[in-house]
Chain A
Amino acid sequence: MNRKKISFILNGTHKEFEVDPNERLLALLRRNGYKGTKYGCLEGACGTCTVIMDGKAVDSCLVFAFHAQGREIVTIEGLGWGSEPNEIQKALIDEGAVQCGYCTPGMVLSAKAMFDENPTPDDETIKVQMDGNLCRCTGYEKIWSAMKKISASHKNGKKRK
């Protein structure tokens, strides 16, 4: 296989990587230390490998690494950290919407893409936009409840910290 160089914006920083043509974005990110992007079903069903590509949540297991050329990618490492959670992470914690936590990075990124595009999604929009993320612990209610609270706080003009 011919390895080739590609470059893209990763979490706000211009990066260059050598990629194997057959390599998926998920594998490229993980071998470069971005391990918040999780291995899951590897067939686009579970959403645990979610990243944001040019503002849209996608499954990095279904995206060839070379597809990222010239694009903007955000992984969970590009959002809030433990000591400084962002509003989505904080809402998930507040609602008790995290159990094993394996799906959480993907959930956070899907929610981030959704709220960046529409700060006040209605219940139906939340369900459609989040339908690519599976959670086998919480039963979704607490996750949706967290999303609804963020949406409501945006409606009231309050940005959660």
Chain B
Amino acid sequence: MKIKDFVFAAKVSEAYSFLREFGDSAYLIAGGTSTFFMKSRISKIAIDINRIPIKGIRKKHGMFEIGACTTIDEILRYRSEGWVLNKVALHFVNQHVRNISTIGGNISRVFYWSDFPVALRVLEGTLKLTDSSAKKANISETFHNAPAQRAVFKNSILEYIEIPQLSKGMGFGYSKETRTATAFSSTTASAFVKIEKGLISDIKIAIGAVCAFPLRLFKVEDSLKGQKADCSIAGKIDFASLSRYKLTPREGMTSEYCTHLLKVKISDVICEAIKDAAGVSK
């Protein structure tokens, strides 16, 4: 993508005035690493939003509020009980990119939504956006369909992401397959598990990279609810419902290999989440 001019915004309201002024040429930039990989025939005017104070991680009423301009490195280093996004950050490219890329950029800019959005779907994260009339909105359905995603980000600024703090009996698993550390994901899977009295009382599974937007595997989830919380269930998952989805193999994979890899990844993240919930991996 070509940048033909740049301006700096110090406040959200200032970023909006620039968005209005530049119209279709406007392009919000925080870390800016994604621009290198984006194709656009129109030269853009960059609105640098790094100076807007929407960064850092705060714990509030059992939730974590993450500023959109928080770097992946800050997410990796942050430690607090019930915080799990550091697992996602660790799989993110390399330290140099983690030092500059932001979670907001990863959600609102990048390609086939294969990192944080996959984790946010199982954690049922919400996006806090401000629209051009300075109205704030919590968006959770963003992760449910593509048109919503496009509509939401077109005229809004993502300010914060909110995720729940996991408590006792809850666990999280995340896995991302890449050919090299810096390659884009070929398969991403994530799982959230809640265990009560040794049984799975709640489970959420999402996949990314092989689909344009992260998918929740509701049928697989339903088949696992109420089952004994043990890694051996990973070998008994009924994957028949996977055939309902049109998967897009990446990195030269065949469809068969892509499906096989996906099954392995899903089994791995479920097992990781069960161990996490049981306190085995802590």
Residues of chain A touching chain B, judged by Cβ–Cβ distance below 8 Å, are 1-2, 4, 21-22, 43-45, 47, 50, 53, 56-59, 62-64, 66-67, 69, 110, 128-133
Contacting residues, chain A, for B97 (C-beta < 8 A): 44, 59, 62, 132
Chain A proximity mask over B9-34: 1 for CB below 8 Å, otherwise 0: 00000000000000000000100110
Cβ distance A4 to chain B, nearest Cβ, rounded Å:
7
Interface-centre pick from B8, B35, B94, B97 (highest chain A CB count, 10 A):
B94
Closest 8 CB pairs of A and B: A132-B96, A132-B94, A45-B182, A56-B99, A132-B95, A66-B6, A21-B3, A59-B96
Interface residues on B, range: 20 to 34
- Contacts A21-B46, A67-B50 given: A47-B6 contact, CB under 8 Å? no
Name B48's contact: one of A1, A56, A62, A67 (CB within 8 Å): A67
Known: A21-B6, A64-B6, A67-B48. A56 touches B100 (CB 8 A): yes
- The CA-CA distance from A87 to B171 in the complex, in Å, is 43
Query: In the complex, A110→B94 CA distance in Å?
Result: 12
> Majority SS of interface residues in chain B?
mixed
Our pick among B3, B32, B46 for the contact of A62 (Cβ within 8 Å) is: B32
Which residues on the A side are within 8 Å of B50 (C-beta)?
Answer: 67
A-B CB contact pairs (8 Å), 20 listed: A2-B5, A4-B6, A21-B6, A43-B37, A44-B36, A44-B94, A44-B96, A45-B94, A57-B95, A59-B96, A59-B97, A62-B33, A66-B46, A67-B32, A67-B48, A69-B8, A110-B96, A128-B90, A129-B95, A133-B96
CA–CA, A72 to B95, complex, Å? 19
Nearest Cβ in chain A — how far from B176, in angstroms? 15
The residues of B that contact A58 with a CB separation of less than 8 Å are 96, 99-100
